[in-house]
Amino acid sequence: MIPGGCADSASKSVSLQVIDKPLKTTAAGQYLGYSLQQLRLCHHLFKALDGDNVSLEYLDDIAVHRSDGTLLLEQDKSALTGNPAADRCEELWKAFANWADLCSSDSIDAAETDFQLYVTPAKTGALVSQLHSAVTSATASDALAKIKKLVDPNKLEIGCTPHVIRFLNAGDDICRVIIQRFRLVTEINPVESVREYVRAGVPPDAVDDLTSAAVGMARDRVDKLIREGQPPIVSATKFRRLFQTFSQRSNLTNMLPSKAPEPSEGAIVAVVATAPTFVRQLQAINASDDMLVTAVSDYLRSTADKVHWADEGLIIEDSLNDLDVQLIRQHKMVRDEIEDTQASVDEPGRGRALYRRCAATTLPLEGRTLPSHFIAGAFNDLADLRRVGWHPSYQTLFPME
């Protein structure tokens, strides 16, 4: 996006042939300030087919260099303070004029190029909507006739007129092809077009972090190419592989996020007052107030996490049963060890040691890292069901009903 343009902004998409050397009209060195372009660069790197390349400020704001030799050229416009798709917007016609110049100079083949105007937030105009819909030679001719009416012979140097004239100077044939291959794309939130490619298989809490990382990686890749004096053209396939490696190593996609808040003191007191089995199991080993409060908090949060993860489709419910089996096995092993090594300690003391060891257990769920409170909460859930216990005689003290 070129600064200082029409208050209204728009975006375009084009099919282009690969060009071996950058054009004089490009401004690759200025890309760092254009966050919208960086977002669109990242979007196209995710969207492009394997074998395609994407460039920034090389042929256009964004260009997709397809493996079949065709191109897509895109102008990116922010419409926060105006309407770049308005009928007489200078930036709109500057884009069309630049495309026409590329075609007239044989830098690109209009018939092999898609021209795209991208505008965010979503705005449009009567004429640009007609251009977007003009897919036949006849409708393109009708649109071209309206464009010619924008030229005021008495104001040739004012407003959009110089750019409209430059577009028309390419000749009717080229102008009609550009119109037929023109597309307007509008979007409320430009970040979403990147986020949609990151979201699949990623915990909701990690989506924004990974989206930000992806945009940064695309920007940094172009920045590196510019510093090295190379064309700012990035392989879509290599970018996606790099992002996949990053996301796996960052572990952001390997975490099960907890949205369960810390329960209030009142909520904890209420649970203790009802004396559920897991609370009475802790009381049987003379658990301290701190141990009891933490245990109730862990129980409430892990219970909420189970419901949330299942409802959101983040886990398969059967995997919770598999985890319970592992926890019961861990409980038995630790209990046997403590009974062997701490026989001289009184029963409540051995029970507290067993609880601490079990609560400190680290296990994944479906290969993903669990929040620190979850395992302890899951053990208390099992204790509530009397499937495990802390006192050496818990099966006698708390028989199955």
CA distances from 163 to 96, 158, 175 (A): 8, 10, 13
d(CA 41, CA 274): 58
d(CA 310, CA 317): 6
Question: Hey, where are the domains in the chain?
Answer: 11-250, 265-397
Each residue's pLDDT tens digit, 94-126: 999 999 999 999 999 999 999 999 999 999 999
d(CA 326, CA 74): 54
pLDDT averaged per 10 residues in sequence order, the chain, 401 residues: 36 29 34 68 97 97 97 94 91 95 96 97 94 96 94 80 94 97 94 91 79 89 91 97 83 73 92 97 97 97 93 89 97 97 96 97 91 96 98 95 74
* Measured torsion, CA atoms of residues 108, 109, 110, 114, in degrees rounded to the nearest 10: -70
d(CA 321, CA 91): 61
List the beta bridge partners of residue 234. Answer: 54
Per-residue three-class SS string for 3-24: CCCCCECCEECCCCCCCCCCCC
pLDDT of residue 250: 67
d(CA 387, CA 401): 12
- Residue 165, both tokens: 């004239």
Instruction: For the full predicted model, state whether its pTM sits above 0.75.
Output: no
Each residue's pLDDT tens digit, 161-183: 999 999 999 999 999 999 999 99
Q: Which string of b and e fits 52-80 if b means at least 16 CB within 10 Å?
A: bbbbbbbbbbbbbbbeeebbbbbbbbbbe
pLDDT of residue 361: 96
- Residue 200, both tokens: 């699949």
